[in-house]
Amino acid sequence: MSSSDGRRGERDRLLLALSGAEYQRILPGLEILSIPAGQVLLSGESAVNHVVLHENIV
C-alpha cells in the first residue's frame, strides 16, 4: 500500500490493483458507506449506477 498516491489504509484488492494515476482519477467518486444487513442494493428493474466494494463482510 502506498501513501504517496492516497492509498494508505486501502484494503480492497481491486482498488489496490489500479495504477496510482487510475486510483487518483476515481478517488473523488469513492465514498465509505455503512450498509445495514438485509439492505437491498439493487432491484430487478433497476439500472446499475454504482459498484459496491466490500471492506468488511459479516
- Residue-wise pLDDT for 3-55, tens only, equals 567 677 778 888 889 999 999 999 898 888 888 888 888 888 888 887 877 77
Give per-residue burial for 2-40: e unless 16+ CB within 10 Å, then b. eeebebeebeeeeeeebeeeebeeeeeeeeeeeeeeeee
Q: Provide the residue type at 54 as one letter.
A: H
- The whole-number pLDDT of residue 49 equals 83
Residue in this structure with the C-alpha cell 444487513, named with its chain if needed: 37
Give me the residue label for grid cell 490493483: 17
